[in-house]
């Protein structure tokens, strides 16, 4: 990594310790051959090693061949250039992520269910063994009443049920879809999530419990809103089910210990014929 003392380009890193060159090392060339290293490595070679230039093998003198400390104006210019480059890099990343604003990523361990009656629109109720708790260990349940609608079946709510294992989510989706509870037909599918607005802007998210994505999701599980409306995500769900069937043909069997002790007091799921 030999450079001329008159080189204009910004130094990258010391070729010996591989650490980025400090500002004070920019005009530091300890040997007349022009091989540039940081001052720390130069001092180590002179005091603890053979004292020879790693490039041309000339002995290092007590004083560097070329060392011109930067002026305050030069230091400020370098700092400004560095800041500008960082801003340009962030801007470029943000531009490259703009298209992700309309993308939704299917979460393998998340079940989205719509058509819940007000009686079931409670996280603790849905966690019970007679409901979603029977299919596997649940991490979190979030109720969404804002999407409630009044139709032929009356007001309905939706919920996001996050399982610890993706296999349990697929099992729940299969069991719950098209069942009737409280006179309402439930529809279940794998849930999707979007990218965090901070991630899209290449910024640090300020929400410690943010549920949105802060990294690139699986491309195969990513769909635009238009693709979701066209049912493309359902093709992905079907593919996951087929893959799981191949690995475990009995995966639809309920986990051991999922039977409710009070099952005689519970209205069972009833699958809709339609």
Contacts of 67 (CB under 8 A, 6+ apart): 27, 28, 29, 30
Contacts of 119 (CB under 8 A, 6+ apart): 125, 182
Q: What is the pLDDT of residue 255?
A: 62
Q: What is the pLDDT of residue 62?
A: 83
Q: How many CA atoms lie within 13 A of 58 on its CB side?
A: 12
Q: What is the pLDDT of residue 104?
A: 93
β-bridge mates for residue 184, sequence order: 181
Q: What is the pLDDT of residue 248?
A: 83
Q: Tokens 């079931």 label which residue? A: 120
Between the alpha carbon of residue 54 and those of residues 44, 57, 58, the distances in Å are 12, 6, 8
CATH architecture assignment, domain 104-247: 2-Layer Sandwich (3.30)
| pLDDT averages per 10-residue partition of the chain, 274 residues | 45 83 83 90 92 93 75 74 72 76 93 92 93 93 70 71 94 92 91 92 88 90 90 90 86 61 46 47
Q: What is the pLDDT of residue 70?
A: 66
């Amino acid at each position: 990594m030999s450079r001329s003392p008159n080189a204009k380009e910004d130094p990258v890193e010391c070729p010996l310790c591989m650490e980025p060159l400090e500002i004070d090392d920019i005009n530091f060339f300890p040997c007349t051959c022009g091989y540039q290293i940081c001052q720390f490595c130069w001092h180590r070679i002179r005091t603890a090693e053979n004292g020879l230039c790693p490039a041309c093998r000339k002995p290092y003198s007590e004083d560097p061949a070329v060392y011109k400390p930067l002026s305050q104006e030069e230091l400020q210019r370098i700092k400004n250039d560095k800041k500008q480059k960082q801003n340009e890099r962030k801007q470029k990343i943000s531009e490259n992520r703009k298209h992700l604003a309309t993308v939704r990523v299917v979460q393998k361990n998340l079940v989205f269910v719509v058509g819940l009656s007000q009686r079931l629109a409670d996280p603790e109720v849905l966690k019970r063994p007679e409901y979603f708790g029977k299919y596997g260990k649940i991490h979190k349940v979030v109720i969404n009443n804002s999407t409630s609608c009044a139709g032929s079946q009356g007001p309905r709510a939706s919920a996001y049920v996050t399982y610890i294992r993706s296999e349990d989510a697929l099992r729940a989706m299969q069991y719950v879809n098209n069942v009737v509870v409280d006179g309402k037909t439930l529809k279940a599918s794998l849930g999707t999530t979007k990218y965090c607005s901070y991630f899209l802007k290449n910024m640090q998210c300020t929400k410690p419990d943010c549920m949105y994505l802060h990294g690139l999701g699986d491309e195969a599980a990513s769909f635009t809103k238009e693709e979701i409306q066209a049912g493309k995500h359902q093709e992905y769900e079907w593919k996951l089910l087929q893959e799981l069937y191949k690995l475990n043909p009995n995966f639809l069997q309920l986990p051991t210990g999922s039977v409710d002790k009070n099952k005689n007091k519970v209205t069972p799921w009833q699958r809709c014929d339609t």
